């Protein structure tokens, strides 16, 4: 890759995400980049250039933003115009394909660089920032914060009770609380534990307040 392509990528994504308010935005990409770099410090064998570029470009073709996740035209276009070799492009594109959360079909990236970017991306989905992003995303997609009437009333597990596709609180049970146990790196696991606990405290408080506790 050309010298300075990381800086160019930052400028590119800043323009690309202008006006975006669903939580997939410039600052998400920058946080993922910073976290990925911090995890790299604990995984010395990782190639920082590959990690950095994959982190910066990872959401440009996201389907949640109407992108083409199969061909990744925006990310590949950027790499092409910034001197990435064929092998660099292949590695970065492969990482972007592998890191996204697909429920049961989620994959663990084969290379350490992919494992790091996946951890960094998932860490940004949980904790205090994750809570903010969940409601921002829900609002952008016209989801209610929480609707207890959507739940079956008989015997059920917490997951059945809170989970359902229709509101933002459900998203914690369907996805966010599962991410802690899906971390790849030791540093990812360490940070995820703290952020996981933050969400549990938040959900407890939310339900208490909802139920009128004073
Ligand atoms: Ni992301």
Token pair recorded at residue 40: 């790299």
* Dihedral over Cα of 47, 49, 193, 168: its sign: negative
How high is the pLDDT of residue 197? 98
> What global pTM score does this model have?
0.91
Q: What is the pLDDT of residues 160-177, one digit of tens each?
A: 777 666 799 999 998 899
Those residues with Cβ within 8 angstroms of residue 23's Cβ, 6 or more apart along the chain or in another chain? 132, 133, 134, 136, 137, 140
* Ligand 1 mean position, distance from CA 146 (Å): 24
* Ligand 1 mean position, distance from CA 83 (Å): 24
* Ligand 1 mean position, distance from CA 62 (Å): 8
How high is the pLDDT of residue 66? 82
- State which residues of the chain have pLDDT below 70: 21-23, 103, 152-156, 163-165
Long-range contacts of 74-79, Cβ-Cβ distance < 8 Å, separation of 24 or more: 74/16, 78/9, 78/12, 79/1, 79/53
Q: What is the pLDDT of residues 60-102, one digit of tens each?
A: 998 877 889 899 999 999 999 999 999 999 999 999 999 987 7
How high is the pLDDT of residue 100? 80
* Ligand 1 mean position, distance from CA 96 (Å): 10
């Amino acid at each position: 890759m050309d010298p300075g392509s990381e800086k160019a990528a930052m400028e590119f994504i800043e323009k690309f995400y202008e006006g975006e308010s669903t939580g997939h935005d410039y600052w998400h990409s920058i946080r993922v980049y910073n976290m990925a770099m911090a995890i790299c410090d604990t995984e010395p064998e990782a190639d920082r250039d590959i990690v950095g570029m994959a982190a910066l470009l990872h959401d440009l073709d996201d389907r949640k933003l109407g992108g083409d996740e199969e061909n990744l035209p925006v990310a590949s276009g950027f790499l092409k115009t910034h001197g990435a070799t064929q092998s660099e492009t292949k590695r970065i594109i492969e990482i972007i394909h592998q890191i996204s959360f697909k429920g049961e079909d989620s994959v663990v990236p084969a290379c350490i660089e992919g494992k790091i970017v996946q951890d960094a991306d998932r860490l940004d989905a949980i904790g205090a920032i994750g809570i903010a992003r969940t409601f921002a995303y829900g609002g952008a997609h016209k989801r209610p914060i929480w609707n207890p009437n959507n739940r079956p009333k008989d015997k059920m597990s917490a997951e059945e009770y809170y989970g359902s596709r229709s509101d933002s609180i459900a998203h914690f049970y369907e996805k966010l609380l599962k991410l802690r146990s899906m971390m790849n790196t030791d540093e990812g696991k360490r940070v995820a534990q703290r952020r996981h606990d933050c969400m549990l405290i938040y959900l407890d408080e939310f339900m208490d307040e909802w139920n009128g506790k004073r």
